[in-house]
Amino acid sequence: MPITIRRSTLAVLVLMTILADNAHADSFEFLNYTPPPGWTRQILPDGVAYRRPTGIGLITFYPSYPATGSAAEEFAKLWRTQVAPALPGPAPQPQIQTEGEYTVAAGTKQISAQGGVMTLSLSTLIGRGRAIGVLTTSAGDESLREVAVFLSTLNIKNGTASAPALAAKVEVDFAVPPGYTSRPEGARVTLIPTTVDRTTPCAYGISPARPSHGTLEADARAALLEALPGWQQKSDSFNAMRGTSGAGWPYFWFRTDVQRLVGGSYEYATAMTMAFPGQAGSTNILWGVGTTGPCLLDDLAFARLFHSLRPRGWTTDGGKTLSRELHGTWRNSQRLGMAQYKFLPNGRYEFGIGTVTTTGLIERTSSSVLDGRYELRGSELTITPDRRDRGAKKYLVRIYDEYVLGRWTRAMSLLDENVNPALEVQYMRIDDSR
């Protein structure tokens, strides 16, 4: 049967409201969860395990026992008895979180094994006088993603309801971009366009914080399919961005095409995840999805959402990091001309613009130069020309390394909310390519 490409924008947006309900849910003592599809269940003398059929991947549930210590102490005890015999060395510092009657201590450690990196994550859940442990082992992007999705389904039984056991709440304050509505989807928050058009082609969302895989890049890659059960990455091709916000928190942005087989035909979409720090060493995830082509997941809505993010517990550096990165020369080249900023450490800037006009066989060029002062507060950039007939302008600035076609390049984007419609313009660093 021939494979065809189906591009239904509505179908892509509906994906955001689908949880893993079509997979078989399972339970162990007082835990509910959804095991990764295709993983084999094994009954152990002292628990239950799920094994990945290919590659390194293992999930092990250890029976509960009477808890006598704190969450951190019970975590260290389980690490010492279940992990240390095979992996000597100190236990990682766990992240502690309390949800109702239960407390979760979760920690992750990475080791070199078989020419790659193996990630071990232990979660210890304590409540009502008992402690239970869940250990995951993974290696490779696919295995990491499958484990991350599994951990997001882990819940504590609580009568007819269940309380999320791991990273159960969004720890980020934000503003909903114009043209979008916000609604809860389980523990996530989903941002859906009120009308899908060229200015709102993508759906976005924010997921609860979770233990880090060690780097923001690993966290972003691992979370790619978390909101898309049943989908898979189409190829190894991807785009990425890495940078620092105006408040000083770092981030890694990852985008690629995904696919799923439905009735003999493939559906395609473009998916994105952005990882940035949470509280106590955890990681926050901003994700997005849309129809391949119209949705690039780096549009005006994303820029507005990005600038509104306020990770709880993060102490701003006052824009010091962003200020250092702003210094230098930035150029926007277009077919009909060029614009260039040069920001100096002394608070001065130089701005030049050149245009090319063609009339018949005659080509005319024009240029102008404008100097002045600039001020950066967080991510708000104020530019004040020396000419008194020119008023000050304010922009929201992003500076980042962009990975396109196999190479990293430094870029700056200026968001202007004072024009209608709002506009974000990208400038490339001309004296610092990476």
Condensed to tens digits (0 to 9), the pLDDT of residues 237-256 reads: 999 999 999 999 999 999 99
Is the pLDDT at 3 greater than 60, yes or no?
A: no
Assess whether 235 and 212 both reside in one domain: yes
Assess whether 268 and 366 both reside in one domain: no
Is the pLDDT at 280 greater than 70, yes or no?
A: yes
User: Tell me, what's the pLDDT at 365?
Assistant: 45
Residue 422 domain flag: yes
Give residue 186's pLDDT band: very low, low, confident or very high (50, 70, 90): low
Tokens of 62: 């250890």
Assess whether 186 and 160 both reside in one domain: no
Going from the C-alpha of 291 to that of each of 7, 10, 227, 320, 335, the distances in angstroms are 6, 9, 15, 38, 28
Assess whether 233 and 173 both reside in one domain: yes
The single-letter DSSP state of residue 280 is: G
User: Tell me, what's the pLDDT at 155?
Assistant: 78
User: Tell me, what's the pLDDT at 142?
Assistant: 83
Is the pLDDT at 52 greater than 90, yes or no?
A: yes
Single-letter residue type at 294: P
Residue 434 domain flag: no
Domain range enclosing 284: 5-15+169-311
Higher-pLDDT residue of 255, 64 = 255
Chain-centroid distance, C-alpha 130: 34
The single-letter DSSP state of residue 195 is: S
The CATH number assigned to the domain holding 112 equals 3.40.1000.10
Residues in the chain: 434
Assess whether 348 and 381 both reside in one domain: yes
Q: Which helix (H) or strand (E) holds 364?
A: strand 362-377
The CATH number assigned to the domain holding 368 equals 2.40.128
Cα separation, 31 vs 227, in Å, equals 21
Cα separation, 134 vs 228, in Å, equals 24
The lowest-confidence range among 111-125, 275-289, 296-310, 368-382 is: 111-125
Residue 216 domain flag: yes
| Ordered DSSP codes for 2-69 | ---EE--HHHHHHGGG--GGGS--EEETTEEE-PPTTPEEEEETTEEEEE-SSSSEEEEEEEEEE--S
Rounded mean pLDDT, 98-120 = 79
Give residue 56's pLDDT band: very low, low, confident or very high (50, 70, 90): confident
Q: Which of 164, 181, 211 is at the close of a domain?
A: 164
Query: How many structural domains does the chain have?
Result: 3
Residue 28 domain flag: yes
Residue 30 domain flag: yes
Tokens of 270: 């473009």
Phi-psi region of 248 (alpha: psi -120 to 50; beta: other; left: phi over 0): left
pTM for this prediction: 0.64
Tokens of 405: 């076609």
Residue 417 domain flag: yes
Q: Which of 164, 196, 214 is at the close of a domain?
A: 164
Contact 180, 224 (CB under 8 A): no
Assess whether 54 and 157 both reside in one domain: yes
Assess whether 28 and 43 both reside in one domain: yes
Each residue's pLDDT tens digit, 204-236: 999 988 888 889 999 999 999 888 877 899 999
Residue 88 domain flag: yes
Assess whether 211 and 239 both reside in one domain: yes
Q: Which of 118, 138, 164 is at the close of a domain?
A: 164
Assess whether 52 and 81 both reside in one domain: yes
Cα separation, 311 vs 172, in Å, equals 4
Assess whether 297 and 329 both reside in one domain: no
The single-letter DSSP state of residue 305 is: H
Give residue 20's pLDDT band: very low, low, confident or very high (50, 70, 90): very low
Tokens of 47: 């628990």
Assess whether 300 and 351 both reside in one domain: no
Assess whether 225 and 297 both reside in one domain: yes
**Beta strand pairing status for 393-404 and 180-185?**
unpaired
Give residue 277's pLDDT band: very low, low, confident or very high (50, 70, 90): very high
Residue 371 domain flag: yes
